[in-house]
A and B are shown apart, each in its own frame.
Chain A
Amino acid sequence: MSIDKAVDSTSLNSGLTSIANAIRTKGGTQAQLLFPTGFVTAIENLPSESSAISIVDTIDPVSGGTIRTITGHVGAYETWTITYRDGTSEQKIVMVEEEDE
């Protein structure tokens, strides 16, 4: 292999790390990405639809209880903040799938 251009390896590594971090953030993973195949696969796996959900509360005519219907784009990713009963909380990236009635 011949060398046709000299590059600044520090700048290149920094640039690749920035791209990998963006992919990991969007994809909800901390995994290392092997250049270039890991980058390509990770980008191909990112959801293409925008995330959006709809929440509708209705009253169950029999029990009188509230039924919460959650719908969203199939494959849409949401970052959910989960607060636990003990007061702690954490964020999880989840895939929201369309609910069957």
Chain B
Amino acid sequence: MSLQNAVKIVIGNKEVQKIESGSTTVWERAVPAGYDELEYVQASNSQYFFVTGFKLSNLDEVEAVIAWNNAAGNTFGCFSSSSATDNFCLYAGSSSSDAYIRYDGELKRSFRPTSGTKYKIVQNADGFFANDTTIATFAPATFTCANDFGVCQLTGSSSAKFTGKLYDIKVRRGAALRMHLIPAKRLSDNKVGMYDAVGGNFYTSASNTAFVAGGVVG
């Protein structure tokens, strides 16, 4: 394996955190030294978190690698109401129903994920894409969501929470990465959640039920 694809580097018996050449970072672990990177975190219609103050707009793109379980549930995004024009979110069913893809005031229902299958999904001003296949397109719109970004639950919604596995979530605005959520376990208290590699914050479940950890990467 070449260095560029390495997820873990060990020299002797010590795990490498970062390699620098002068002021250039050659390689770095995805999460800080006090965290283990996980393959995924798993939710079961109980776990969720909101990112306070983080709101999506028509300038943003959400890219997520996710596998749904059979149960439907809120997946990610900002939601006001079904009649509002500032929604940017996904409520996905599995074998039970088509997903609710909301963008601005639009609702698209043309995606039904297969239970247990991993998808790379992208939602932006151009449309909604699953594994690079166009699922829906949106009309041009200018808006900023009033509510905060949620993962596994949407602000203002009482619908079922996400059930399945979260592998990776990125939010971009143009070329800039605004958020990169990586499954992780904090070693100081063994809490499982998602580490934002951009903001440096660690998000654990806001409910009394903790996320279930996938295997440690590497």
- Decide if A84 touches B17 in the complex (CB within 8 Å): yes
Given contacts A55-B26, A69-B4, are A64 and B14 in contact (CB under 8 A)?
A: no
* B29 and A82 contacting across the interface, CB-CB below 8 Å: no
Chain A nearest CB from B216 CB (Å) reads 13
**SS class of chain B's interface: helix, strand, loop or mixed?**
strand
Asked whether, in the complex, the Cβ of B120 is within 8 Å of the Cβ of A84, the reply is no
Question: Is A86 close to B, CB under 8 A?
Answer: yes
Q: Which residue of B lies closest to A56 (CB)?
A: B4
The yes or no answer to B148 lying at the interface (CB within 8 A) is: no
Interface size on B, residues (CB 8 A): 29
Interface residues of A (CB under 8 A from B): 53, 55, 59, 61-65, 67-70, 78-88, 99
Q: List 13 A-B contacts (CB under 8 A).
A: A63-B65, A63-B120, A64-B120, A64-B167, A64-B168, A70-B4, A82-B16, A82-B18, A83-B16, A84-B11, A85-B15, A86-B14, A87-B33
- On B, residues with C-beta under 8 Å from A are 2-5, 11, 14-22, 24-27, 29, 33, 63-65, 120, 131-132, 167-168, 170
